[in-house]
Amino acid sequence: MRILLIGPPGAGKGTQAVRIAAHLSIQHVSTGDLFREHIEQGTELGRNARSHLRAGLLVPDEVTIGVVEERLAHPDTGRGFLLDGFPRNRVQAEALDGILAGSKSRLDAVLGLEIPEAQVVSRIAGRRVCRRDREHIFHVDHRPPEAAGTCDVCGGELYQRDDDREATVRRRLEVYHSETAPVIDHYRVQGLVATISALGQVQEVLDRALAALGQGRMNASGTSGRRPL
């Protein structure tokens, strides 16, 4: 399966992306994670991306599209992929259409996570990520680690992402509304979009996501379903 996961910051995209990809045995590809890896490794691309991440702004399209094109060319995406954080605007969506057409493949679904704006800032401000494995994500209130500041999974140190501070979160939300929300419309006309509520426990949201993708049983409290055109 080839899936896109779209949602505002704080909707739990990263948390769900890892689980959905594992459930479907497909590769999780997060552009945010790819940029953070480049930044940590001190590559030229990382040096260029850093200021954009810090400011809560999008990395320029040509850089981002190049990173994704290279990543999707890797054989580990052959069984399918879940793209998390890309495309984030119409230019990127059109570029992805072109990349897929070039490899004679197409998307199976676009899953939109929805969350009331009031929830976003508190969710993000409390988020803590493991330094050893950024797929290990906690929240000081909603998913606290057993020992404060330490990852339950691997013992790594938990930290707050630079761009998870309040002013940056507000900027990221503005960017989401102006640039990324229209991407959902781009795919809605192709009949690919299903939207679900991102509220509730991690497992509840996962059940909804899998049900919306036709891969699991609908949870009694779920609200998922493909939207009609």
Select 63 or 199, whichever has its Cβ closest to ligand AMP. Answer: 63
Residues 6+ apart with CB under 8 A from 224: 194, 195, 196, 197, 208, 209, 211, 212, 218
Select 178 or 221, whichever has its Cβ closest to ligand AMP. Answer: 178
DSSP reduced 3-state for 109: strand
**Least distance in Å: CB of 137 to ligand AMP?**
11
Which candidate, 98, 92, 99, 105, places its Cα nearest to that of 31?
92
Catalytic positions: 13, 88, 127, 161, 172
Select 35 or 81, whichever has its Cβ closest to ligand AMP. Answer: 35
**Tokens 């976003």, located at residue:** 120
Rule CB under 6 A: which residues touch ligand AMP?
A: 9, 31-32, 35, 52-53, 56-59, 64, 85-86, 88, 92, 163, 172
**Least distance in Å: CB of 14 to ligand AMP?**
6
**Least distance in Å: CB of 90 to ligand AMP?**
12
Select 53 or 115, whichever has its Cβ closest to ligand AMP. Answer: 53
Whether 159 contacts 128, CB under 8 Å: yes
Which candidate, 35, 28, 33, 23, places its Cα nearest to that of 3?
28
Select 64 or 224, whichever has its Cβ closest to ligand AMP. Answer: 64
Distance between CA 200 and CA 128 in Å, rounded?
18
Which residue's beta carbon is nearest to the bound ligand AMP? 32
List alpha helices for the chain, DSSP H: 13-24, 31-41, 44-55, 61-72, 90-102, 117-125, 166-175, 181-188, 202-212
Which candidate, 101, 100, 104, places its Cα nearest to that of 86?
100
Q: How many CB atoms lie within 10 A of CB 134?
A: 19
**Least distance in Å: CB of 68 to ligand AMP?**
7
**Least distance in Å: CB of 214 to ligand AMP?**
25
